[in-house]
Structure 1
Amino acid sequence: MTALVPAADLDRAWDVVSRHLPPTPLIPFPQAGLDVPVYLKYDGAQPVGSFKVRGAIAALTAYAGKPVVTASVGNHAQGIAYGARLLSVDATVVVPTSAAPVKIAALRRYPINLVLEGDDFDGAERHALDLAEAGGQYVSAYNDLHVIAGQSTLLTEVAADLAGDFTVVVPAGGGGLLSGVALAARRAPQDVRVIGVEAGACRALSTAVAAGHVVPVPMGETIADGLDGNLEPASVTPGIVRDCGVELVAVPEAAIRRSVRELVATAGVVAEGASATTLAALRGGLVPADRPVVLVISGRNIGLDLLATILGES
């Protein structure tokens, strides 16, 4: 199950991503109230509102302009759409009919072939894989070494901003971002502890890491839609996460909702559910406070109705 990304691919991804995307902010978060500094790595500042554009640009460049097919609940789709427009690549994007309307609306602004298929991510992914077999390069949101290399650039930026050792806390769905961060952490000049956070309702990655192979698991209801869905049978991410010694934790739904609200109220930061899992883990005592902590806020694409509901909760 293990497949490490070659160092040359990580370097190539950094060259590509750093040429097309400026670094996103590392925001001090003293509101955490800890004795060590806490920072928010805000990838919601990306042009598509999510870290996914990093991996998309890296992969589209690596595949040298071939037509691509992908499936996504939204953020990876927007990353591919943005990259396809930027690099003049033909792209087909399959999105489940259950995807957040705000994400579907955003995709319609790009010159891509948008296909709504499947009740959930698993159904959309199956359809996208069928389309790719008929012609096109399938670009997984997480199970693609070039995508993973692109996501590694997030940690490279953080390591350039912080002088000493630190802990980085990363949302964990399919594991593409977590794998990239873990691989970059091994190359960083500091000692970087990596913690991945799953939604309690979606434990596909940790189940695969524990079993040593991908195991389909039931998915529960969650506002962290970016972490929803089972893994591809041959996914490389569980092996990378395991071999890099990443610790995986999970947070309950109520804690995710509280963290979305706290980020807006105390830091003025809009975070979608998946992003808020990192603060939920910190508040839940799942992150050691023995060194500076970086919470990856991976995206801001949350529906306004849902955000309004959460902000109104007590």
Structure 2
Amino acid sequence: MHAQHTGIDDATLSHARETVARYLVATPLLAYGGAGLPVPVHLKYEGAQPTGSFKVRGAVAALSAYAAEGIPVVTASAGNHALGIAHAAGLLGVRATVVVPRNGSPAKIRALREYPVDLVVEGDDYDGAEHHALALAESGMRYVSAYNDPHVIAGQSTLVAEVADSLGEDFTVVVPTGAGGLVGGTALGARRAARDIRVIGVESDACHAVSAAVTAGGVVRVPVGDTIADGLVGNLEPGSITPGIVRACGVRLVSVEEAAIRHAVREFALGTGLIAEGSSAAALAALRTGLVPTDRPVVLIVSGRNIAPELLAEILTEE
């Protein structure tokens, strides 16, 4: 399968790799000796990114690609994508508007106010914020989706490329999966690597948006439950390109329950000293519940660290 079958060609992937390498330092790949498994387990820690999440990769790649158009960009997000766009806008000198809903995280909204972006609080929830952002796009701005954008997905592909550069052997990479931007990018990056890389995507039981779309052959609406892995829940935009990439690349999708995610957040903090938000912990939860083959080295993508302090404290004190 060639990358262009997914609508993202090799030139787009190469541009993302060069751009991300220019503006962002490669994040640590840490050996996790405490995993207690017969094969090495490595942690790719995206909490070390300047915004605390992998999302800045896609933001830098996309804003770099769109900067030449000379028009401002707009996005809707209450979380890590918004912080990524804000950081990238500062790095690249691109004018950006970020629309956040009124129910957005106060901590993330405070963080966004520190960046040189136009911050607009509009809409009761994410859908309302997105509706407003899309309306702004129609008036002459470029909308940059958190996942349904070829340059964003290409930016996320740089993560597995860094791992392949560091590990001199074949491996399995386990990827938290919400809307599919990271797992889709990882699958495309894995196809370009010199190693044989098996990709496993991990959804939360609270939301099966990508696996449902892969099974149905197109985007379908799914129920969304409560979970601490807020980055893994939400319905996909109609026409999203991520399920097609996941299907074409033969990614295996698995799902983990809430208790396993909470246990994994706790294990990261107490077993490795790493702060991982709920979404980040999905990969370790899949490993611990026997959903990841251990016939070769395993790389867990720890996608971000932006967890509310009170939630982290609650999980760490659970029996």
- The TM-score normalised by the length of structure 1 is 0.97
Of 276, 286, 311, 1:281 maps to: 286
Structure 1 gaps of 5+ residues are none
User: Matched residues in 1 for 2:124 and 2:299: separation?
Assistant: 35
Of 237, 241, 256, 1:251 maps to: 256
Structure 2 gaps of 5+ residues are none
Question: Which residue in the other structure is 1:34 paired with?
Answer: 37
Of 265, 272, 276, 1:271 maps to: 276
Question: Which residue in the other structure is 2:114 paired with?
Answer: 109
Question: Which residue in the other structure is 2:51 paired with?
Answer: 48
> Is residue 21 of structure 1 aligned with residue 24 of structure 2?
yes
> Is residue 169 of structure 1 aligned with residue 171 of structure 2?
no
Post-superposition Cα deviations, 1:111-169, rounded to whole Å, max 9, x if no partner, equal 21112233433332222112211220000000000001111000000000001110000
User: Matched residues in 2 for 1:218 and 1:97: separation?
Assistant: 22
Indicate if the aligned counterparts of 2:74 and 2:98 stay in contact, CA closer than 8 A: yes
Indicate if the aligned counterparts of 2:264 and 2:281 stay in contact, CA closer than 8 A: yes
Question: Which residue in the other structure is 1:87 paired with?
Answer: 92
Indicate if the aligned counterparts of 1:178 and 1:241 stay in contact, CA closer than 8 A: yes
Indicate if the aligned counterparts of 1:173 and 1:228 stay in contact, CA closer than 8 A: yes
> Is residue 63 of structure 1 aligned with residue 66 of structure 2?
yes
**Offset of residue 194 of structure 1:** 0.2
Question: Which residue in the other structure is 1:120 paired with?
Answer: 125
Question: Which residue in the other structure is 1:11 paired with?
Answer: 14
Indicate if the aligned counterparts of 1:122 and 1:229 stay in contact, CA closer than 8 A: no
Post-superposition Cα deviations, 1:165-197, rounded to whole Å, max 9, x if no partner, equal 100000111111111100010011111000011
Question: Which residue in the other structure is 1:180 paired with?
Answer: 185
User: Matched residues in 1 for 2:306 and 2:39: separation?
Assistant: 29
- Matched positions, count: 313
Question: Which residue in the other structure is 1:226 paired with?
Answer: 231
Give, as a single letter, the amino acid of the residue that structure 1 aligns with 2:18: D
The alignment partner of 1:31 has SS state of helix
Question: Which residue in the other structure is 1:242 paired with?
Answer: 247
User: Matched residues in 2 for 1:63 and 1:293: separation?
Assistant: 35
Of 308, 311, 316, 1:311 maps to: 316
Indicate if the aligned counterparts of 1:198 and 1:250 stay in contact, CA closer than 8 A: yes
Spell out structure 1 runs of 4+ moving beyond 4 A. Answer: none
Indicate if the aligned counterparts of 2:41 and 2:299 stay in contact, CA closer than 8 A: yes
**Offset of residue 97 of structure 1:** 2.8
Deviating more after overlay: 140-149 vs 222-231: 222-231
The alignment partner of 1:63 has SS state of helix
User: Matched residues in 2 for 1:51 and 1:301: separation?
Assistant: 11
Identity of aligned pairs, percent?
Answer: 66
Indicate if the aligned counterparts of 2:224 and 2:234 stay in contact, CA closer than 8 A: yes
**Offset of residue 4 of structure 1:** 3.4
User: Matched residues in 1 for 2:102 and 2:256: separation?
Assistant: 26
The alignment partner of 1:24 has SS state of coil
**Offset of residue 108 of structure 1:** 1.1
Alpha-carbon distance change, 272 to 20 in structure 1, aligned in 2, over 3 angstroms: same
User: Matched residues in 2 for 1:230 and 1:118: separation?
Assistant: 17
Question: Which residue in the other structure is 1:202 paired with?
Answer: 207
Post-superposition Cα deviations, 1:243-288, rounded to whole Å, max 9, x if no partner, equal 0000111111111111101100000000001000010000111100
User: Matched residues in 2 for 1:275 and 1:282: separation?
Assistant: 13
The alignment partner of 1:5 has SS state of coil
Of 198, 205, 210, 1:193 maps to: 198
